[in-house]
Amino acid sequence: MFEFKKTSHEQKRKVWLRLWVAGIFVVVCFFLLVGRLWYLQVERYEGLAARADENRIAVVPIPPRRGEILDRNGAVLARNYRDYTLEVIPAEVSDLKAMLNTLSQLVYISPTSQKRFLQRVNQSSRYARVMLRNNLNETEAAWFAAHAYKFPGVTLNARWVREYPHGSSAAHVLGYVGRISEQDLERLERDGQLGNYRGTHNIGKKGIEKTWEHVLHGQTGVEEVEVTATGRPVRTLRRTDPVPGSDLILSLDLGLQQLVEKEFQGKRGALVAIEPETGEVLAFVSAPSFDPNLFIDGIDVDNWRMLNESEDHPLINRPLYGTYPIGSTYKPFVALAALELGVRDAKTKIYDPGYFELGRQRFRNAGSIAYGQTDMYRALVKSSDTYFYSLGPEIGVNALHDFSKQFGFGQYTGIDLDGERRGILPSTDWKEKAFRKPEQQRWYAGETVSVAVGQGYNSFTLLQLAQATAVLASKGVYMTPHLVNLVRNSQTGLLKKTVTEPSHVVDLKPENIEVIENALAGVVNEGTARVAFDGAPYQAAGKTGTAQVFSLRGAEYKSSQLDERLRDHALFMAYAPTVKPRIAVALIVENGGWGSTVAAPIARKVFDYWLKADTNTTLAEVNP
C-alpha cells in the first residue's frame, strides 16, 4: 500500500509530488467556487437581483390555526383565541434594563413578568424571541404600534392562543399544549417537520393534544411580502394560505364526564366508560384533576409545585398509568376461562367452609364467611373467594394468562393517549423474566391461587378493566378503545371515522357468556350491588371488588393520614343493558373501602344518565 521510501531525500521528493497534486487540486476547487460565484452573480444576476434588490421579498410563515377539540355533541373542549403579545429579540436591544424601564412606564408590565422575562433572556439564545407581555388589549396594542419605532428589537405580534373553556374537566384526556422545547425541535427535525413549525410557538405536550398533534397542527402557510429598505412591509406578492388543523370530535360526552367528575369531588380515583359495540370512550375521568390552561404559556413555579408535590398526584393519568390488583372484578373473567377451557361446569358445586387449603397453606374468604355449597352463579353473586381459589390451580396460571390476554389484561389497549402502562398479567414466563434470582423466578402453586381472585401479581390499569368489560359485553368483539371518534377536515368539512373494524374477536361460546351474564345480573339484582341498583329501569350486569394494595408509583404516605390512605380501594365493573349493551364501565375509588357502597352507586348514576333516552345522543352520519 505504501510506497517504499529509503532516504529522507527520497521522502522529500515523494512529498513534493504529493504537494503538487494537492496544490493543483486546491486550485481546481477554487476555480469551481469562482465559477459558482460567476454563475450566481453574473449568469443568474438578473433573476436573483430581481428577487432581492427590487422586490425585497420576505418569506413570512403564517402559522395555521390549530384544530379544535369537541365532545360528541359538539361542545367545545379546546379552542383558540386571538391574542396580542410583545416579544423581544435581546440581541437587537442595546440596554435591556433601560428598555424595560421606558416601556413599563407606558405599557403595564408586572414586576414578576419582568423578572421572568429577564430569566428567560438568560436562558435562551440572544437571537430568539422572548415574550415580554401577553394579553394586550386593543388600546395597548394600538398604542404600542404607534410608538414601536422607539423600541427597536421589540415587536407586537398577534397569535392564536389555546384555551380550555371547561378548565379541569377532562384535562387528562385533552392534555395541553406548551412551548416547543429543544427535544420537540429535535423530534420535528427528525420528522422533517421543522419548516412546518416556523412561526408556531406551542406544541401538544400531553393527552390528545400530543397524540393527535400531527392532525391538529395543520400546514403552515407562506407569505412573500415586499418590504422597503427599512424592512417595512409594502405589499404581499404571493401567499400560500395556511391549512388549519383538523378538528377532532371526541366520543366523550361532556355531560357524562362532568357528572362523574362531580361524583369524584374530594375523592381520588378513576372511571372509564366505553360503548362496547364501537369502542368509543364515553367518559374518562381521573380524579383529582388540574387546569390545563396553566400550562399554555409555561406554568409558574408556585402552581407547578402545588400540582407536582401534592400527594394526591393530580397530574397522573390514573386510568392509564395507575395499575392495581383489581380484586373480585377479575372473577367473571376467571369463571369464563373455566367454562371455555372446560375446567369446571357451571352447575358443579364446591363446598366452601370459608377457606381453601393448598398443602398446608390456608387461603381465607374475605371476612372469613362460609358460603357452604357453592356453584358458579352463587360464587359470583356472593363473591366467594374459596370457589375461585380452588379454580386457580385447576385452570393453571399460564392457561389463565393466555385467556385473559385476549381481553386486553396486561396489554396495551391501543387507546389514542400516550403514557399508557401495560401492567402485569402474570405467567411463569413473566416471572422468569421479571426476577433475577432463581428462587424468585420459580412459580409457586400458592401464587396461582391468589391470581385467580385478582390479587397477587395481577396489576392492571383501570382502562384495561373497562375495556375487558366492554369486550365481555360485546360477546368477545374487541374494538380498540378510542377518544377521538371523528376527524373533521377543516376545509372540506368531511368527517373521517378513526376506528371502524374490530381489532380481534375473542372466540367465546354464547352459552358460556350467558352463564356469566346471568351471574353478573344476579350481583346487581340480589348480590353485592343490589342496594345501588335498586329500582333501575334497565337490567345491568356487574361485579364489585376490593383491592388491597396501593400501587401508584411515587406515592408517599404521611403518618397522620396513614389510616385513610391504607384503606382498600373500592372497585366496580358493569355493563348495561344486558340485551344489546350500550355502555360498559369500570371505576375505582382509591381508599374508598367497599365496592358495593362506594363504587357501585357511581356506576348507577352513569347508567341512569346514559340510558335515559333524552340525554343519549347518537352521532351524525359519517361521511365516507
Partner 1 sequence: MKQYFRWVLKVLTVFDWPLLALLILMAGLGLVIMHSAVGGTDWRFASQVRNYSLAFIALWFVAAVPPKYWLKLAPALYVVGVLLLVAVEFFGETSKGATRWLDLGVIRIQPSEMLKLTVPMMLAWYFQQLEAKRMRLLDLLAAIILLAIPFVLIVRQPDLGTALLVLLSGFFVIYFAGLSFRLLVPLGVVMAVGLGTMVYFETDICQPEVDWVVMHEYQKNRVCTLLNPSSDPLGKGFHTIQSMIAIGSGGVYGKGYMEGTQAHLDFVPERTTDFIFAVYAEEFGLYGGVMLLVLFALFIVRGLFISARATTQFGRLLAGALSMTFFVYVFVNIGMVTGILPVVGVPLPFMSYGGTALLTLGIACGLLMSINHYRQPSQAR
CA 39 to chain centre: 53
Residues 495/510, Cβ–Cβ less than 8 Å: no
Q: Is 220 in the site for partner 1 (CB under 8 A)?
A: yes
Q: Please select the residue that binds partner 1; options are 227, 243, 369, 399, rule is CB under 8 A.
A: 227
Cell of 323: 395499575
- The least CB distance from residue 123 to partner 1, in Å, is 12
Q: Please select the residue that binds partner 1; options are 74, 167, 195, 353, rule is CB under 8 A.
A: 195
Residues 506/476, Cβ–Cβ less than 8 Å: yes
Q: Please select the residue that binds partner 1; options are 183, 265, 560, 618, rule is CB under 8 A.
A: 183
| Piece of 188-196, 265-273, 330-338, 490-498 that binds partner 1 (CB under 8 A) | 188-196
Q: What angle do CA 121, 138, 232 make, to 5 degrees?
A: 65
Question: Which residue out of 169, 286, 328, 390 is catalytically annotated?
Answer: 328
Please spell the DSSP secondary structure of 21-74, one letter per residue.
HHHHHHHHHHHHHHHHHHIIIIISHHHHHIIIIIT-EEEEEEPPPPPPEE-TT-
The pattern of x and - marking residues 33 through 72 that bind partner 1 according to CB under 8 A reads xx-xxx-xxx-xx-xxx-xxx--x-xx-x-----------
Site size for partner 1 (CB under 8 A): 62
Closest to partner 1 by CB, 239 or 362 = 239
Catalytic annotation present for 596: no
- The least CB distance from residue 11 to partner 1, in Å, is 6
Please spell the DSSP secondary structure of 367-420, one letter per residue.
GG---EEE-HHHHHHHT-HHHHHHHHHHH-HHHHHHHHHTTTTTS----S-S--
- The least CB distance from residue 210 to partner 1, in Å, is 19
Q: Please select the residue that binds partner 1; options are 115, 198, 239, 364, rule is CB under 8 A.
A: 198
Closest to partner 1 by CB, 3 or 621 = 3
The residues facing 287 across adjacent strands are: 269
Residue 70's alpha-carbon distances to 314, 480, 500, in angstroms, are 23, 20, 20
Q: Is 17 exposed, middle or buried (0-12, 13-18, 19+ CB in 10 A)?
A: exposed
Closest to partner 1 by CB, 195 or 353 = 195
Q: Is 2 in the site for partner 1 (CB under 8 A)?
A: yes
Q: Is 189 in the site for partner 1 (CB under 8 A)?
A: yes
Cell of 512: 358460556
Q: Please select the residue that binds partner 1; options are 105, 111, 112, 190, rule is CB under 8 A.
A: 190
Cα separation, 24 vs 41, whole angstroms: 25
Other Cβ atoms closer than 10 A to 9: 9
Q: Is 128 in the site for partner 1 (CB under 8 A)?
A: no
Q: Please select the residue that binds partner 1; options are 229, 301, 562, 579, rule is CB under 8 A.
A: 229
Cα separation, 329 vs 326, whole angstroms: 6
The pattern of x and - marking residues 9 through 28 that bind partner 1 according to CB under 8 A reads x-xx-xxx-xx--xx--xx-
Closest to partner 1 by CB, 56 or 267 = 56
The set of catalytic residues is: 328
Q: For binding to partner 1 (CB under 8 A), which residues are involved?
A: 1-9, 11-12, 14-16, 18-19, 22-23, 26-27, 29-30, 32-34, 36-38, 40-42, 44-45, 47-49, 51-53, 56, 58-59, 61, 91, 94, 182-183, 185-186, 189-192, 194-196, 198, 220, 222, 227, 229, 231
